[in-house]
């Protein structure tokens, strides 16, 4: 049979079909980021500014000496550290408890993951109540529960305290994301061939040594993925904090401050500059990661 010349044999046929998406990404992701950068370099610091001119890095320099901004930045970093460590540990523990297989695994796994299906705004109601700062006789939520189980000395102001607010705010965040981390680690563990483990057991290695020397080293790509995912989510955190504490000063992070600067102060140039700061903090981690993923995929081809 004669092979018919394909109508769309051209290697560029595919390009034609993704062209609309390429244009959309070019305009709405990269173009708009460019526009925001440009905005951040202007003097549009209030809604009635009509004579727009470029002022260089002035807005960024102003941010550096803006106490609200540095406060929000340091809050964000505190939150990020506790959130990332907490998620990593709890996700890892969940996956360690499940990875060898156990009766009822599906049930536990589904329960640990369901928070991912609910909006932060909805869960904020529960968490706001759980983390109510009233103590002792007036206590509700977690403070009440702590007294009941004899840990009354652990009662806390939670997210309303000056010093501990961001650590408290990390709790609902960990609660929401730990199941996701668990799923990633489970996938990692179960991607390791069983023979490796069996061989080590035959050689008489203890279970602890098997984890330490055989399984964990195999999980390093998973660790990297988890760090990138948690890191970028943390940098962007908005709904979670807004849902619990709205614009409260003690829990202000960059995304909340940006929203306030735009809507309450109509300072578009400063808002744009804050957005670009968030973007840069994400980009320094994500771009090398994407390049690395791209390379390993090319190598596996």
123-142 positions binding other proteins, by CB under 8 A = 123-130, 134, 138-141
**Cα separations (Å) of 40 from 72, 76, 120, 134, 263?**
18, 21, 29, 42, 16
Query: Do residues 58 and 272 touch, judged by C-beta distance below 8 A?
Result: no
Q: Name which of residues 225 to 244 contact other proteins (CB under 8 A).
A: 225, 229, 232, 235-236, 238-239, 242-243
x/- binding map, residues 185-204, to other proteins, per CB under 8 A?
Answer: -xxx-xx--x--x---x---
Q: Which of 77, 81, 227, 286 binds other proteins (CB under 8 A)?
A: 286
**Cα separations (Å) of 252 from 84, 229, 242?**
18, 22, 9
Q: At what angle are helices 220-236 and 165-190 packed, to 10 degrees?
A: 150
Q: Name which of residues 242 to 281 contact other proteins (CB under 8 A).
A: 242-243, 246, 255, 258-259, 262, 268, 271-272, 274-276, 278-279
# of chain residues touching other proteins (CB under 8 A)? 118
Structure tokens at 30: 């990269």
Nearer to other proteins, 68 or 207 (CB): 207
Nearer to other proteins, 56 or 104 (CB): 104
Least distance from other proteins to the Cβ atom of residue 58, Å:
18
Nearer to other proteins, 179 or 252 (CB): 179
Nearer to other proteins, 163 or 179 (CB): 179
Q: Which of 47, 65, 117, 163 binds other proteins (CB under 8 A)?
A: 117
Least distance from other proteins to the Cβ atom of residue 162, Å:
20
Positive/negative CA dihedral, 59, 60, 63, 69: positive
x/- binding map, residues 22-61, to other proteins, per CB under 8 A?
Answer: x-xx--xxxxxx-xx--x----------------------
Nearer to other proteins, 163 or 273 (CB): 273
Q: Name which of residues 149 to 178 contact other proteins (CB under 8 A).
A: 172, 175
Binding of other proteins by 118 (CB under 8 A) = yes
**Cα separations (Å) of 190 from 19, 113, 178?**
38, 18, 18
Nearer to other proteins, 162 or 297 (CB): 297
Least distance from other proteins to the Cβ atom of residue 138, Å:
8
Q: Name which of residues 50 to 109 contact other proteins (CB under 8 A).
A: 90, 93-94, 97-102, 104, 106, 108-109
């Amino acid at each position: 049979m004669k092979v018919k010349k394909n109508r769309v044999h051209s290697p560029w046929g595919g390009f034609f079909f993704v062209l609309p998406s390429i244009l959309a990404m070019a305009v709405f992701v990269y173009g708009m980021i460019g526009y925001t950068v440009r905005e951040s370099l202007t003097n549009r610091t209030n809604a009635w500014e009509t004579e727009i001119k470029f002022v260089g890095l002035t807005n960024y320099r102003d941010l550096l000496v803006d106490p609200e901004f540095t406060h929000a930045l340091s809050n964000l970093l505190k939150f990020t550290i506790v959130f990332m460590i907490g998620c990593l540990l709890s996700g890892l523990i969940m996956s360690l408890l499940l990875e060898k297989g156990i009766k009822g695994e599906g049930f536990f796994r589904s329960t640990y993951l369901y928070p991912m299906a609910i909006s932060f705004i909805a869960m904020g109601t529960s968490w706001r109540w759980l983390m109510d700062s009233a103590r002792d006789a007036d206590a509700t939520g977690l403070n009440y529960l702590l007294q009941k189980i004899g840990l009354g000395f652990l009662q806390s102001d939670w997210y309303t305290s000056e010093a501990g607010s961001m650590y408290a705010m990390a709790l609902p965040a960990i609660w929401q994301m730990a199941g996701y981390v668990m799923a990633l680690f489970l996938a990692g563990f179960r991607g390791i061939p069983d023979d490796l483990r069996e061989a080590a057991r035959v050689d008489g290695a203890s279970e602890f040594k098997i984890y330490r020397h055989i399984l964990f080293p195999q999980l390093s790509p998973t660790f990297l993925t988890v760090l990138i995912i948690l890191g970028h989510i943390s940098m962007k955190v908005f709904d979670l904090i807004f849902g619990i504490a709205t614009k409260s000063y003690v829990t202000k992070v960059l995304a909340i401050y940006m929203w306030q600067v735009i809507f309450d102060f109509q300072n578009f140039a400063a808002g744009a500059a804050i957005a670009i700061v968030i973007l840069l903090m994400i980009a320094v981690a994500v771009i090398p990661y994407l390049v690395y993923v791209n390379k390993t995929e090319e190598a596996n081809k």
